[in-house]
Chains A and B, each alone.
Chain A
Amino acid sequence: MKRHLVSVLVEDHPRVLTRITSMFARRGFNIDSLAVGRTHLPGVSRISFVVYGDDRTIEQVEKQLNRLIEVLKVVDHDGPRLERELALVKVRVEGIEERLELKEIAEAFRARIVDVARSALTFEVSGHPAKIDRFIEELTHYGVLETMRTGALGMDRGERVLKLRARKEAI
């Protein structure tokens, strides 16, 4: 079971996200994370998600997505790719010593302290999801109070881009 990061361009219509997630649920595809946002193209949104599966599963994920009328383009980023996630992590903190330790950990992960309270610190960290996993793991010792992650965003490295004009093989 390989980890795949897939990007989808969709028409920005009501319920388009529901169509996609309901299809995943119905066909038993297990989605690890999902991120959605507008693009620079009017009326076009981009969804990226992480899914685990063998080649056959991924092929079906792509094909079933392509069957949806409002899906414009599907790409499995299987070459060199950029992958980034943003997370907010709130940690319990007691005493100056812990504060210093946490600051050191944050520096190692290039996380920033974005909020400070008497007994809690909130970090903002971005990077590959695996890095964020490790960061949160490091903090569990201190007591993680709350986490919020965006889900992975992905893009091919180099000059390869998701183009719209490609004729979609729809059914």
Chain B
Amino acid sequence: MTGAEAVLEALRRQGVEVIFGHPGGAIMPVYDALYKRRDLHHVLVRHEQAAGHAAAGYARASGRVGVAMATSGPGALNLVTALADAMMDATPVVAITGQVPTAVVGTDAFQEADVTGVTMPITKHNYLVTDVHDLPRVVAEAFYIAATGRPGPVLIDLPKDVQNAEFTGSFPEAVDLPGYKPVQKGHPRQVEKALAALRAAERPVLMVGGGAQGAAEPIRRLVERSGIPAIGTLQGLGVVAADDPRFLGMPGMHGTYAANQAIHQADLILGIGLRFDDRVTGDLSRFAPKLRTLIHVNIDPAEIGKVLKAHIPLVGDAAWVAERLAEGAEPLAIEDWWRQIRAWQQAHPLRIPERPELQSQEVIRAFGEATGGEAVVVTGVGQHQMFAAQFYPVKRPRSFLTSGGLGTMGFGLPAAIGAQVARPGETVLLFDGDGSFQMTLQELATVAKYRLPVKIVILNNGFLGMVRQWQDLFYDDRYSEVFLADSNPDFVKLAEAYGLPALRVEAKDELPGAVARVLESEGPVVADFRVVPEEGVFPMIPAGGSAEEMILEPPKEVEP
């Protein structure tokens, strides 16, 4: 067996069924070995960045490790953005990259780059394999590291001569990493303390993040039993169903008024699987000023105390901790608190402006209604992303896939490809902006090649809308380099060039019919929704602000 064959055998033994990748010189032995295997599918993308995002989309939608593959140098470097994205949003991905032969490593050989050096700060761990007999161990370790603890990307750099070398060893089952023992359980005494604090709280809120996506079942029971108001961060949407009456929506910069006020007035925050990112907290010194108890549950000890001091730190797996909390929780006597929250909700619900033109929020709401909040939603980055978070009623966990920490424009289409591969029988709905979509639109070829039935909804406002919105609010309307409409392609013709069915929607009255056509189409479809050019995402807390400075509605001059 060659090293290349050993790698694939090791991947199969990890349960891998599909690899997202792009071949090239230094990874050709692995691709040659792949040619002979019937039990490993390969999804050929058109740019390596897409392989990384597709692997991440697959991982997020399935809860399993996603695998990306690329050649050395430019191929591997094209993975960089996707690896950083996976690192920030704690997504388990294993990337396998070709490398120039060990004999010429360090000589500036053709397509050589120091990929382990470059990816060191943006992976959970990485390997440069120099001995073919290390391969099974390295692959087993990589999967273990990627999937356990706080998940993240692991890269394996594989010199070509190692791929070609003769392998005679065995494949270990167990992994022995003396410096890596991820915690699984929380500390029972901290759980008791958390439950006692919860009982004593007058104005408690639950905040869940991406780390809680695998703990939805016990968290829902905890909410059910205790009646605690629940808030989901961008990555935590779907953990508590959007239609649960105790769910207040998203916190932070574009969060709901009720969620932000509830945090602002809370005396206790129970935070599970989140890291209190600056888009959530705003100005830290004015975040949750009445807070007496922060119970911070995270599997990564470094997250606890990094941003906010936790009164009850609870290092542990979200599902384990939530299970204990759900078992121990009692119904909370917080009627006054709920009355206050209901008043906030009624005073300032999420609003869609009254306008004659088609608006992104209406499109998203219509798809939400038509799918009952049950689709797997993927987004790009920008205004449409925030609108999707606000207006798509996510009902299920692992069903809202969006680039949060890194905010990577172009994440959407490749991640949707990965999600559709992971959940072939389900409706995968991509909401993308015209700007974001164009950063990875070459992947329409991948959609076409495999006839992946992704529903691609482009919310086309002809602008880099989020940047334009900030220019409106903070740069005196100086629209510096954000206008796209004069040079956007005709997205319908573009889709048709790839052999994909497409439609354009320009008016409100076409919306119901268009939504039905998109959702009823059997295969892939691209829908170009021409929405009003100058829209704004509100409410909004300016960067570095606090809930007190929430801008609820667009300033008057933005109104048409």
Contacts and interface: CB of A to CB of B under 8 A. Distances in A.
Interface in A21-50: 22-23, 26
B149 to A, nearest CB: 4
Given A19-B120, A170-B149, A164 B178 contact: yes
Interface stretch (B92-100, B301-309, B527-535): B301-309
Contacts of A23: 121
Interface stretch (B31-39, B159-167, B179-187): B179-187
Interface string B285-316: 00000000000000111100110000000010
B163 to A, nearest CB: 20
Contacts of A18: 117, 120
B121 A67 contact: no
Contacts of A10: 179
A15 interface: yes
B179 A72 contact: yes
A98 interface: no
B120 A15 contact: yes
B179 A11 contact: yes
A71 interface: yes
B178 A170 contact: no
Nearest to B145: A69
Contact of B179 (A14, A15, A63, A68): A68
B116 interface: yes
Nearest to A56: B305
Contacts of A150: none
B117 A64 contact: no
Nearest to A60: B306
B120 A22 contact: yes
Given A59-B305, A60-B306, A171 B299 contact: yes
B125 interface: yes
Given A22-B121, A69-B145, A171-B301, A11 B180 contact: no
A169 interface: yes
B279 interface: no
A113 B116 CA distance: 45
Contacts of A167: 181
B177 interface: yes
B179 A71 contact: yes
A14 B114 CA distance: 14
Contacts of B117: 15, 18
A15 B119 CA distance: 12
Contact of B180 (A56, A60, A69): A69
B121 A26 contact: yes
A164 B315 CA distance: 22
A74 to B, nearest CB: 10
Interface residues of B, number: 24
B150 interface: yes
Contact of B178 (A11, A63, A68): A11
Nearest to A72: B179
Contact of A69 (B177, B302, B305): B177
Interface residues of A, number: 27
A72 B182 contact: no
Interface centre among A63, A72, A171 (most CB of B within 10 A): A171
A171 B300 contact: yes
B305 A168 contact: no
B121 A169 contact: no
B125 A69 contact: yes
Interface string B471-505: 00000000000000000000000000000000000
Nearest to A43: B178
A68 B179 CA distance: 8
Nearest to A19: B120
Contacts of B306: 60, 63
Contact of A63 (B124, B149, B299, B301): B301
Contact of B181 (A63, A70, A164, A170): A170
Contact of B302 (A22, A26, A66): A66
Nearest to A59: B305
Nearest to A13: B127
B300 A67 contact: yes
Contacts of B177: 69
A168 B182 CA distance: 8
Interface in B267-281: none
Contacts of B128: 14
A50 B179 CA distance: 22
Contacts of A26: 121
Contact of A169 (B150, B183, B305): B183
B301 A169 contact: yes
Interface in B140-190: 145, 149-150, 177-183
A15 B302 contact: no
A67 B302 contact: yes
Interface string B83-94: 000000000000
A56 B310 CA distance: 12
B179 A171 contact: no
A72 B179 CA distance: 4
A67 B299 CA distance: 11
A92 B434 CA distance: 70
A71 B306 CA distance: 20
B120 A169 contact: no
Interface string A126-155: 000000000000000000000000000000
Interface in A57-106: 59-60, 63-64, 66-72
Given A22-B121, A60-B302, A168-B180, 10 more contacts: A10-B179, A14-B128, A15-B120, A18-B117, A60-B305, A60-B306, A64-B302, A66-B302, A68-B179, A170-B182
14 contacts: A22-B120, A56-B305, A60-B305, A60-B306, A66-B301, A67-B300, A67-B302, A69-B124, A69-B125, A69-B177, A169-B181, A169-B301, A169-B315, A170-B182
Interface of B: 116-117, 120-121, 124-125, 128, 145, 149-150, 177-183, 299-302, 305-306, 315
Interface of A: 10-11, 14-15, 18-19, 22-23, 26, 56, 59-60, 63-64, 66-72, 164, 167-171
